[in-house]
Amino acid sequence: MPFIQKHFTIDTPIPAFLFVMRTLKTTQGESQRLIHKGRVIANNEVLKSPGQIINGDISVTIFEPERVDMPPLFSTNDFMLFDKPSGILVHPTTRYTPFSMLDAMRQYGGVEANPAHRIDRETSGLLLASKHKEAEILIKSGFENRIIYKSYLAWVDGKVTQNFDVNVPLQKNEDFEFNKHKVTVEKSGKSSHTSFVPVQYDSHLDSTLVQCFPHTGRMHQIRVHLFHVKHPILGDPIYGVPFKISNAYLDKVLSVEDRALYTGASRLMLHAQSLDFNYNKVRYKIESKINFEDLRSLIMPKNARKFNT
């Protein structure tokens, strides 16, 4: 369990942030963040102020990485790159998340290691993580300013024969009563742009492997863009499936068998393939070591699916 509660007894009154700093050997900023997140309790009361004087029975909830054999693909003094498997969260969503990529980051990069960008739980591939706050700020700035270039691979439904671009405004969905799509194409949404290049077509699966080059970074951008042009990513349980399937998936009652039958694959067939960026005047261009093309074995033949998109 990554989150654990540590218990202490203090005889001499001390400011809360100073106690956390000395006891956990953290920076002042990190100790203040723990307190603001409600993770420090003094005499059964959650602390609200880092400067509050405390003594007596104290408990602190901290993230303690679960030790796993998942070393980074590449590492420097400032950042690491992981080849994330599909199905693993980047960051724990609750205190009861059994394992996330943050465990691996903290294990191999130290207590200040953090993910530098988003990647969906079911998307596999390259994940960039910083090792300290200065690197985190610099790398996140690179993503925000679009000077870190990403490419993805996706197995999509149907035959794609030509390069194409999708330029449509995207908006987060606020009403899930009839539509479980988390993002929709709306005129009032934010601009988004992705370029797509077909790589190969598998006639038995009626599926095309495409390269995806996002020029903006909207939520679910690649998934929504491919659904929008009627080539949804195989294995996608949200976009391109009947309402009852997406609803069952979100309620965590969709079986592995039904997912494959209705979506065409047992997992989301989207993979973060490459990263290209400059850091401290050094050019890095790194490719995933996972052979995503071979994962076509997870795709069901078109005629075996219950719902043809």
CATH class of 74-144: alpha beta
In the chain, the percentage of residues whose pLDDT exceeds 70 is 95
- The answer regarding whether domain 3-63 maps to CATH 3.10.290.10 reads yes
The Cα 303–Cα 273 span in angstroms is 29
Q: 143 near 118, Cβ under 8 Å?
A: no
Question: Secondary structure of the chain in the HEC alphabet?
Answer: CCEEEEEEEEEEEEEHHHHHHHHHCCCHHHHHHHHHCCCEEECCEECCCCCCEEEEEEEEEEECCCCCCCCCCEECCCEEEEEECCCCCCCCCCCCCCCCHHHHHHHHHCCCCEECCCCCCCCEEEEEEECCHHHHHHHHHHHHCCCCEEEEEEEEECCCCCCEEEECCEEECCCCCCCCCCEEECCCCECCEEEEEEEEEECCCCEEEEEEEECCCCCCHHHHHHHHCCCCECCCCCCCCCHHHHHHHHCCCCCHHHHHHHHCECCCCEEEEEEEEEECCEEEEEECCCCHHHHHHHECCHHHCCCCC
pLDDT digits (tens, 9 = 90+) for 66-116: 667 889 999 999 999 999 999 999 988 766 667 889 989 999 999 899 999
Query: Which of the residues 57, 78, 103, 120 is marked catalytic?
Result: 120
CATH topology identical between 74-144 and 149-304: no
pLDDT digits (tens, 9 = 90+) for 176-220: 777 788 898 999 999 999 999 999 999 999 999 999 999 999 999
Active site includes 157?
A: no
pLDDT of 65: 65
pTM of the model: 0.79
pLDDT for residue 307 is more than 70: no
pLDDT digits (tens, 9 = 90+) for 204-214: 999 999 999 99
One CATH from 3.40.1280.10, 3.30.365.10, 3.30.2350.10, 3.60.21.10 for 149-304: 3.30.2350.10
Q: 298 near 236, Cβ under 8 Å?
A: no
**In angstroms, what CA-CA distances link 126 with 41, 42, 112, 252?**
38, 41, 20, 26
The Cα 122–Cα 114 span in angstroms is 19
The Cα 240–Cα 227 span in angstroms is 6
Domain ranges of the chain: 3-63, 74-144, 149-304
Output 126 or 24, whichever has higher pLDDT.
Answer: 126
pLDDT of 48: 83
